[in-house]
Structure 1
Amino acid sequence: MKISFKYISYFLLFILGLSMTLTSCTDDLNVTPKDDDEFLSDDFFKDPTSYKQVLAKLYAGLYVGGNDGDGMPDISGLGGDFSSYLRLMFVTQEFPTDEAIVAWNDDGLPALNMQRWSPSNQFLYGIFSRAFYEISVANEFLRQTTDEKLTERGFDSNLKAEVATFRAEARFLRAFSYYNLMDLFGNVPITTEKDPVGLFYPEQKTRAEVFAYIESELKDIDAGLAASKTNEYGRVDKTAAKFLLAQIYLNSKVYTGTERFNDAAIVCNDIITGSGYTFANVPYNYLFAANNDRNGAQTEVIFPVIGDGNAIRATGGGMSFILHASIGGSMDAGKQGMNGGWAGIRTRPEFVKLFPDVDASGDKRGTFYTNGQTLDVTDASVFTNGYAVTKYSNLNSDGTAAQRTDIPDTDFPMYRLSDVYLMYAEATLRGASSGNVATALGYVNKIRLRAGAGIVSTSDLTLDFILDERARELFWECHRRTDLIRFGKFTGGSKIWQWKGGVKNGSSTDSFRDLMPIPSTAIQANPTLKQNPGY
């Protein structure tokens, strides 16, 4: 099946010929024919090309909010732009932290800026539902691709072998969604392809049980995933599963109460020394340019969420949201390769102060726009309060234009090798017996040399330094909330930033907010769900 994956991901979002709207987390997959021209699931899967199309739907769901891009939203009650997975990850991982703040007053956004959210927050409902929707599509795909089903449909061994790889990828994407649910909400239900379709109340599992399920899945799919760097660009391979495994091990103390730092270091070392992914020896800004899939940056990107200005119809999701929303004030949108800005996202002064200057002379990663912007965020609803961030661009790395200016070509680097370097260094500093401090220092300095930030010595390599270095290297890549929680600095008073706690100079917040509340809509749909403490 020689189909361009990048294009079917976005052009064939009507796959299954179904209206698949997740009305609650208790509906595994609500499958209803939309009109007489559409097919039921069994009929659809008689076409051998359908399997890659469904896989593409799963990947596309990371960027777009519904069929036809932002149109025909997947999630009932939320528009396609508001329910984009990547957009919701950015909202929940960045807005409650020192790295970003949004000017808009949409119901629920100011609360995220200030760590004052409630179970009725529509954006928490959005990511909860989006993750379970992706799980539902993966479950249905796995039901339809058993060896028994493929044999009944008369497919040969070649297709069966290809579909076996698709199944492993679907299981990875399902594990990815369970990871986000575990990270944000803690105790959540688990549904798999073995559960019935339709209304039922899946049992809510403890965070530790969800962790164990994810770990088991990631280990089990290793044999079925494509070898490292052999899959189509944009699709995951064995290394992506190892990255997620290292990520859960690094955060294991938070999720389960048990440290797994040595396991994290072992997996990170395996990725660094044996995966074939290599550190991109290109300028830092190349990693976030419109042609970051081919300008040399792609050698370190383990799991990209692919973008394409011509193929994607999502004007408000994914990278289109991140780029448009970060342009405002006196900024020239054309210098970012865009046709305009939405005057939404900028950063807080505490993050700016992690860099030696604001003009990227002492650290090329500190790309701020300051003209007409104040460092202090006196009024969170005013875009010009707070420095703007120009990390992402819809221009090619040589300055030439991308395909179009309304929807960017820029791929989002969900997982990259630099993060693995920093995870290894952190695990080593936290006592991983297999870790080596000199090796960790080398990895950190490799990152800093690319940034023009200067090397550091062993005495500089502390956990506080690693947290700051993760911010400098990985900001606006949807890691900050998780990182701050792991370091014990998300809630409480050990780390304060403007508007944390709802006051201009920041204040301590309650530790129960390390977990987001289970959305009230989900509890109404499934009364067996128990709310997180404090809410």
Structure 2
Amino acid sequence: MKSKAILLTLSILAGGAYSCKKLDVPVESQFVAGNFPKTLSDYNASLGAIYSNLSSQFAVPYWRMQTLSTDEAILPARDGNFDDGGQYRQLHYHTWTPDHPNVLTIWQWAYGGITTCNRLLNITNSFGFSDAEKANRLAEIRAMRALYYFFLLDLYGNVPLVTDYPVTGSPATQPRASVYKFIESELLALTPKLPAKSSNAATNTQQYGRPTKGLVYALLAKLYLNSEVYGGAARYPDVVRMADSVQANPNYSLDARYRDIFLPNNGPQIKETIFAIPYDQQIPGNQFTRFGFFYYLVNAYGFNVGLSIAMSTTPEFYARFNLPGDFRTTTWLAGPQFVPDGNGGFTSTPVYYPNTTTQININPVLTLVPPKPMDLGNTIATQSEGVRSIKYYPDPTIIQATRLNGNDVPVLRLADVLLMKAEAILRGASATTVGSELQTPLVLVNKIRARAGAQLATSITLDGMLDERARELSWEAWRRNDLIRFGQFETEYPLPNDVLKMDKSTFRRLYPVPTIELRLNSALQQNTGY
């Protein structure tokens, strides 16, 4: 939940901000004399469309594609409720089709953002800024365009590269490796033109949720860590180099308390945030409490609104939270429930089911009730199955009208960068010294563990890194990316009484091009297997 200044800067809706859903943008949507921004306020409102588009879909459909397709989260039906046409079980069992609603929504969302960026590049060049101001603003827009292309690269792989506005002709599908090279070249070109995280609080507030040098370095580290997945050669030394570039800025550091990163009042004061998406209760998108909380606990947490009781994690994923002293374990609700203490822990006061003296007890095991597919049933007992997440801590001011959280959602943060560096070294890169510290994988992992209060590791293997990332980055939309890189995206986690099977085809490491887009643009090529 942020100051109004940040929200106004990043979230003002410009006319038609998300109307350009297709690649063949109609000519009448161009800026002409009658609607060309005339004042700086008009221009900033147009620029805000890039960010309002980003927040509109990231924390729900984008997050679901990256997370519900893994062991990290599951959204089962409950006696038919929350089935929603089978879209969640299709993600869980890897049986989605080119007509899956999230597949279409996120394709259109990303290209809507890219179209807005391309349009604003034209506007910026014609607006009358000084050369220095123009360069800064063009760099910001291009960096956001590169981020949108990264989302497409990771999810769909082979996609059109559209850099002109208006679009002429029918943009053709480009190989994943070409999209990778485009993103890399854009980010490298922008590095000297973007601001760095500052020690000045006012400056950081102004920059918050906007691209900085740190975003470029961290996103390049992601590209290089996944280079072989994306069709390139191994780039592990470059991962280390980019991680060290982030650490070279002393204004990035691990926050003392893990929980602070995800509270409803998180924001520019979080030291390790590299790039986050701001949310408040009026900005569509952040619905973690609405979908992932446990309804019967609302009064204990200080609010009382209608929630869905639907989403949880799998027993296998929760089992990774097994380190003695690890605060991150308390970000899950499992077992007997107690009133929270307001400081990230719990009192000794039990919480009871309504109108009973029975303590609420959340069972990690998800036992299906056939014949309805991926259905738990809808009794009090079955509603209590599935570990719930309070990582994005429930907002006590949540209101019935929207049921939205005010927690910002981090996209890239320092802890992730340190874990990427550790993994890259385990994969063959050399350890480097930062300050006077030789940062071996064990040193880096123990930095993360120590902050969480977890028992320190005595050794670390590459396989162990996947569990370290699971514990630190749960529900931050990186699990699919990690599982694919580790060759484990096709691992199945059968539920008791399950009558369905996962499709373990490796072609599903990419999502398909949506059917409607193929019909609109004959130059598009469907991904293999669909």
Shorter-chain-normalised TM-score: which range?
0.7 to 0.9
Per the alignment, residue 461 of structure 1 pairs with 460
Residues 476/351 of structure 1: CA separation in 2 closer, same or farther (3 Å cut):
same
Aligned residue pair count: 472
Q: Percent identity?
A: 34
Q: Is 2:159 the counterpart of 1:185?
A: no
Structure 1 residue 469, shift from structure 2 partner: 0.6
Q: Find the aligned partners of 2:173 and 2:302 in 1 and give their Cα distance.
A: 44
Structure 1 residue 419, shift from structure 2 partner: 0.2
Q: Find the aligned partners of 2:223 and 2:32 in 1 and give their Cα distance.
A: 38
> C-alpha deviations, 1:135-155, integer Å up to 9, x for none?
000000001111xx134xxx5
TM-score w.r.t. the length of structure 2 is 0.83
Per the alignment, residue 70 of structure 1 pairs with none
Residues 211/41 of structure 1: CA separation in 2 closer, same or farther (3 Å cut):
farther
User: 88, 95, 110: which one pairs with 1:109?
Assistant: 88
Q: Find the aligned partners of 1:510 and 1:41 in 2 and give their Cα distance.
A: 52
Q: Find the aligned partners of 1:167 and 1:446 in 2 and give their Cα distance.
A: 37
Structure 1 residue 336, shift from structure 2 partner: 7.2
Q: Is 2:233 the counterpart of 1:258?
A: yes
Runs (5+) with no aligned partner, structure 1: 34-38, 65-83, 396-400
Q: Is 2:457 the counterpart of 1:486?
A: no
Structure 1 residue 303, shift from structure 2 partner: 0.5
Per the alignment, residue 210 of structure 1 pairs with 179
Residues 353/467 of structure 1: CA separation in 2 closer, same or farther (3 Å cut):
same
Residues 285/434 of structure 1: CA separation in 2 closer, same or farther (3 Å cut):
closer
Structure 1 residue 348, shift from structure 2 partner: 0.3
> C-alpha deviations, 1:49-69, integer Å up to 9, x for none?
2222222221121212xxxxx
Q: Is 2:516 the counterpart of 1:521?
A: yes
Q: Is 2:210 the counterpart of 1:235?
A: yes
Residues 59/30 of structure 1: CA separation in 2 closer, same or farther (3 Å cut):
farther
Contact conserved, 2:288 with 2:405, CA < 8 A, in 1?
no
- Amino acid paired to 1:58: I
Query: How is 1:125-524 mapped onto 2 (pairs within 5 angstroms)?
Result: 125-146=104-125, 149-151=126-128, 157=130, 161-192=132-163, 195-198=164-167, 200-229=169-198, 230-231=203-204, 232=206, 233-274=208-249, 276-282=251-257, 284-293=258-267, 298-309=270-281, 312-314=282-284, 317=285, 319=286, 321-332=287-298, 335=301, 339-356=305-322, 362-366=325-329, 367-370=331-334, 371-379=360-368, 380-382=374-376, 383-395=383-395, 401-402=396-397, 406-433=403-430, 435=432, 438-457=439-458, 460-491=459-490, 495-498=491-494, 503=498, 509-524=504-519
Q: Which has the higher contact order (CA 8 A, sep 6+)?
A: 2
Per the alignment, residue 346 of structure 2 pairs with none
Per the alignment, residue 5 of structure 2 pairs with 4
User: 19, 35, 38: which one pairs with 1:43?
Assistant: 35
Per the alignment, residue 22 of structure 1 pairs with 20
TM-score w.r.t. the length of structure 1 is 0.82
Q: Find the aligned partners of 2:95 and 2:463 in 1 and give their Cα distance.
A: 26
- Amino acid paired to 2:259: N
Contact conserved, 1:329 with 1:343, CA < 8 A, in 2?
yes
Residues 30/372 of structure 1: CA separation in 2 closer, same or farther (3 Å cut):
farther
> C-alpha deviations, 1:107-150, integer Å up to 9, x for none?
3222012111111111111111100100000000001111xx13
DSSP-derived class of the 2:276 partner: strand
Identify the range of structure 1 (213-222 vs 255-264) with the bigger mean alpha-carbon deviation: 255-264
DSSP-derived class of the 2:230 partner: helix
Q: Find the aligned partners of 1:353 and 1:409 in 2 and give their Cα distance.
A: 29
Structure 1 residue 328, shift from structure 2 partner: 3.4
Identify the range of structure 1 (505-514 vs 99-108) with the bigger mean alpha-carbon deviation: 505-514
Q: Find the aligned partners of 1:438 and 1:19 in 2 and give their Cα distance.
A: 44
Structure 1 residue 42, shift from structure 2 partner: 6.1
Q: Find the aligned partners of 2:195 and 2:297 in 1 and give their Cα distance.
A: 43
Structure 1 residue 234, shift from structure 2 partner: 2.1
